[in-house]
Structure 1
Amino acid sequence: MNIKKLDDNLSVSPQLTVSDVEDAASLGFKTLVANRPDAEEPGQPSMSDIEAAARENGLDWVYLPVQSGNILDSDVDDFVPMLETAQKPILAFCRSGLRCTVLWALSNARFIPADPLINRAREAGYDLGPLRPRLIQQASKGA
């Protein structure tokens, strides 16, 4: 597993395997979030198998699939309450971790300026610079 911590509540990872789930639980994660659609590509572990492993290891399971390169405002609207209510710490995964990072940044842009989010994502290995205009746009949706 290649886990990248984005903040105290959320870390992201590329695609997990069933065997990774036990490791995630042993690292103290409480909630596992899948942001990758099931069967997105051949050979990808099934979400039902990962969900079963999560539950067997005492993790809460959240399935919020989003299309790569096409994250909608409605996807962000679904991610925000999950961040607020899920047991923490949370481990979210997708193919590379980028979708999860984009969802995190867009969700937090409602409350945190764009540049600190872009910088934190860069430190984790994800370039969100091109997302700056959309992050700024999300600020208008803040509570």
Structure 2
Amino acid sequence: MDLRQLTPDLAVSAQIQPEDLPALAEAGFRVLINNRPDDEVGPGEDDETMRQAAEAAGIRYFFNPFTPGRITPDLISAQAEALSAPGPKLAYCRSGNRSTVLWALAQAGQEPVADLIETAARAGYDLSGMRPLIESLAAPER
């Protein structure tokens, strides 16, 4: 597993396996956020399999599939809800990038845009192309 810490309470990762869940629970993770659509994975990594493995390990599970290029307000809201769950969290997708994008969009307006982009960059994810969208979400409504 290639866990990349974004915040003290959130790490992101590429695809994990069901057998990784006991070790993640032992490491202190209490929430798993699956941002990978089922049509990208096989039956051993689908939503239901990952949900069962997470629950068996005592980890709260959220399924918020993010298809590239299809960002919606509901997707951002669902990620914000999952991120508000108590305890250390791990969000994953194919590479960790989509999970990082959703984190930044959910945090827009709560932290400076430059800080969000810098945090992502330190973890190895370039969100500079997302700056206009993050800024638009951070802007107060008129």
Q: 1:88 to 1:115 in 2, by over 3 A?
A: same
Count how many residue pairs are aligned between Structure 1 and Structure 2. Answer: 141
Moved over 4 A (4+): 41-44
Distance in 2 between the 1:136 and 1:32 partners? Answer: 27
The more displaced of 44-53 and 99-108 is: 44-53
Aligned-residue Cα RMSD (Å) equals: 1.7
Amino acid at match of 2:115: P
Quote how far apart the aligned CAs of 1:41 are.
4.3
1:39-67: per-residue Cα shift (whole Å, max 9, x none)?
32457622211111111111011111111
Match of 1:61 in 2: 61
Gaps of 5+ in 1: none
Contact 1:60–1:87 (CA under 8 A) maintained in structure 2: no
Distance in 2 between the 1:57 and 1:141 partners? Answer: 41
1:88-134: per-residue Cα shift (whole Å, max 9, x none)?
10111111111110000011112111111101100000000011111
Q: 1:38 to 1:141 in 2, by over 3 A?
A: farther
Match of 1:121 in 2: 120
Quote how far apart the aligned CAs of 1:141 are.
5.6
Q: 1:42 to 1:62 in 2, by over 3 A?
A: closer
Gaps of 5+ in 2: none
Paired residues for 1:1-143 under 5 Å: 1-42=1-42, 45-84=45-84, 86-140=85-139
Q: 1:59 to 1:7 in 2, by over 3 A?
A: same
**Identity of paired residues, percent?**
36
1:7-43: per-residue Cα shift (whole Å, max 9, x none)?
1221111011111111211110001110111132457
Distance in 1 between the 2:92 and 2:69 partners? Answer: 15
User: What SS class does the counterpart of residue 11 from structure 1 fall into?
Assistant: strand
Q: 1:141 to 1:47 in 2, by over 3 A?
A: farther
* TM-score, normalised via structure 1 length: 0.91
Quote how far apart the aligned CAs of 1:80 are.
1.5
Quote how far apart the aligned CAs of 1:78 are.
1.6
* TM-score, normalised via structure 2 length: 0.91
Contact 2:13–2:95 (CA under 8 A) maintained in structure 1: yes
Amino acid at match of 1:113: P
User: What SS class does the counterpart of residue 2 from structure 1 fall into?
Assistant: coil
Distance in 1 between the 2:45 and 2:18 partners? Answer: 7
